[in-house]
Amino acid sequence: MRDAGGWDYVIVGAGSAGCLLANRLSADPACRVLLMEAGGEGGAFWLRMPIGYFRTIYDPRFSWQFRLKPQESTAGRSIVWPRGRVLGGSSAINGLLYIRGQHADFNDWAAQGAQGWSYSEVLPWFRKSERYAGGTSEYHGADGELCVSDLRNDHPYCAAWIEAGLQAGHGHNPDFNGARTEGLGAYQLTLRGHWRCDANNAFLAPVRKRANLTVMTGVQVTRVMMENRRAVGVQFVDANGQAQSARAEAEVILSAGALQSPQLLQLSGIGPADLLRTHGIETVVDAPEVGANLQDHYQARVIVRLRHRMSLNDQVRSPLGLAKMGAQWLFSQRGPLTVGAGQVGGMVCSEHARDGRPDVLFNVMPLSVDKPGDALHSFSGFSASATQCRPMSRGIVQIASGDPLRPPEILANYLTHPYDAKVLVAGLKMLREIYRQPAFRDLVTDQEYMPGNTVQSDRDLEEFARRKGGTVFHPVGTCRMGEDDCAVVDSRLRVRGVEALRVIDASVMPSMVSTNTNAATIMIAEKGAALVMGA
């Protein structure tokens, strides 16, 4: 094994968290920082184009394709979880939505033992990294690097859907990242000018030339090196297959995400002792919860057929429509090419909501497709999805062997808790009720595409959700933060039982935030960087 050299901090994973950490830690010229990424440099056109996530999210050049273990609860299907494999990580392939979560989500964290992570305590860290186009306020920052923009595409049917939602009894919300989170409205997106603003071009690219910052791409970290229960570096395989090591004088920081951070801990001897013993790995710390507590959002959609050719399905098949979209994007930085995975939506309370907290998240697009990467439907389609905000089902991530290059085994356990299925069914019924309101009912035909007119009972809707639902690409929780003895990391994100090793990414969330996870992950990295530097 060849020694690649020594640094003060070695950061594993150049995703949403890793890119920000590299920026903040290397701001001190006395700190030598190494950032390691298994994927490539990125920069491809479709990675930069906002709407390009449809092309890139399932492209193995840019994302890992983790295949879940098939389960009866989701009709025995082999669902794939794509995770970013490029500078910027999943922020380079995600749907661009910038939404932080409900205020109470972070108060939940504090109640579960994550000291210092209540909403009032994390709000400054959200604001620090944000450059909101609407300017600074009590809830928004305008001096950070992550560019956040209001929706730049005005589709009349999206406006009609919001009006229908109001007619159905839901409230309006002009800013999901403001004083309250309940209600329907337009989403904010991570956009800078014409292009996607991901963690790479927001935080890493501007400081890439710092003399004390080294970025390695195409390198696969295989384990953390330990000496007397202290992390002293990492072993990795470079692009040529050469085994190498890199030493860390201060700390090793895992920012590899909710799937690969626990995998690396287990490969390094930190995890359930029985699992490690099975695969011939010496136990450094018997930590049963490493890889446990896995959570993800699961969605099901209601897709309708429009009476008139007002869907993006139609525009992309029209030379004139394509030319119009291109002109809007090029000359005014607006239009369909600037949208992400949702234009409008919001959070509402179902009949099962507890403590008055919204428990269903809606996401609406004036198009229809079976899944990202597939061709848009040939008919004029309009889609709205329902997601349970805070699923109670829990999964697990475990190494499948001692081979560090072999993907871990992932058991999602979607809809295994009966409450999750009840809330999801209620969400689908609410979507149908919105479509039936005066503002929208005359825009659609009588033939629902999905779930379909014959699917009416709660039992049939649940069966539909199990057969046709899927991931919203938000895995979290597998290196739970807390102050109890079973937590994987403490409230300062230090791995319990060892020294000089932290996990700073979405895996430390004790429980799922109610919305998309990218904004919260960047906040975790912002606060985590301050903790590393002694704040």
Q: Write out pLDDT tens, residues 27-77.
A: 999 999 999 999 999 999 999 999 999 999 999 999 999 999 999 999 999
Query: What is the chain's mean pLDDT, rounded?
Result: 97
Judge whether 33 is annotated as a binding position.
Answer: no
Percent of the chain with pLDDT over 90: 96
Hey, what are 225's tokens? Answer: 């090196």
- Cα 282–Cα 284–Cα 286 angle in degrees, nearest 5: 100
Q: Write out pLDDT tens, residues 88-126.
A: 999 999 999 999 999 999 999 999 999 999 999 999 999
Q: Could you tell me the CA-to-CA distances from 239 to 168, 213, 214, 343, 412 in Å, in that order?
A: 56, 20, 16, 39, 31
Question: Is residue 473 left, alpha or beta, with left meaning phi > 0 and alpha meaning psi from -120 to 50?
Answer: left
Quote the pLDDT of residue 182.
98
Per the structure, the complete domain to which residue 122 belongs is given by 2-532
Quote the pLDDT of residue 526.
98
Q: Could you tell me the CA-to-CA distances from 67 to 12, 70, 78, 259 in Å, in that order?
A: 22, 9, 6, 12
Quote the pLDDT of residue 2.
79
Point out which residues pair with 364 in neighbouring strands.
344, 384
Catalytic residue among 103, 140, 297, 474: 474
Quote the pLDDT of residue 260.
98
Judge whether 80 is annotated as a binding position.
Answer: no
The question of whether 140 is a catalytic residue gets the answer no
**Residues 130-149: what's their mean pLDDT?**
98
CB-based contacts of 111: which residues, under 8 Å, 6+ apart? none
**In terms of C-beta density within 10 A (0-12 exposed, 13-18 middle, 19 or more buried), how is residue 167 classed?**
middle
CB count in 10 Å sphere of residue 505: 31
Q: Provide the domain count of the chain.
A: 1
**Residues 402-418: what's their mean pLDDT?**
97
Q: Tell if the pTM clears 0.85, that is, is over it.
A: yes
- What does the alpha-carbon distance between residue 54 and residue 458 come to, in Å, rounded to a whole number? 32
Confidence of residue 276 (pLDDT cuts 50, 70, 90): very high
Q: Tell me the three state secondary structure of residue 69.
A: coil
- What does the alpha-carbon distance between residue 431 and residue 161 come to, in Å, rounded to a whole number? 10
Q: Write out pLDDT tens, residues 148-197.
A: 999 999 999 999 999 999 999 999 999 999 999 999 999 999 999 999 99
User: Over 369-436, what HEC string results?
Assistant: CCCCCCCCCCCCEEEEEEEECCCCCCEEEECCCCCCCCCCEEECCCCCCHHHHHHHHHHHHHHHHHHC
- What does the alpha-carbon distance between residue 123 and residue 73 come to, in Å, rounded to a whole number? 37
Where would I find the H helices in 53-101?
53-56
Hey, what are 181's tokens? Answer: 């989170």
- What does the alpha-carbon distance between residue 369 and residue 357 come to, in Å, rounded to a whole number? 31
Quote the pLDDT of residue 371.
79
- Cα 116–Cα 119–Cα 122 angle in degrees, nearest 5: 60
Residue type (1 letter), 221: V
Q: What's the CATH code of the domain at 444?
A: 3.50.50.60
Residue 262 has pLDDT above 80, yes or no: yes
Quote the pLDDT of residue 57.
94
Quote the pLDDT of residue 325.
94
Residue 1 has pLDDT above 90, yes or no: no
Q: Write out pLDDT tens, residues 496-526.
A: 999 999 999 999 999 999 999 999 999 999 9
Confidence of residue 5 (pLDDT cuts 50, 70, 90): confident
Quote the pLDDT of residue 280.
97
- What does the alpha-carbon distance between residue 507 and residue 83 come to, in Å, rounded to a whole number? 13
- What does the alpha-carbon distance between residue 171 and residue 183 come to, in Å, rounded to a whole number? 5
Residue 3 has pLDDT above 90, yes or no: no
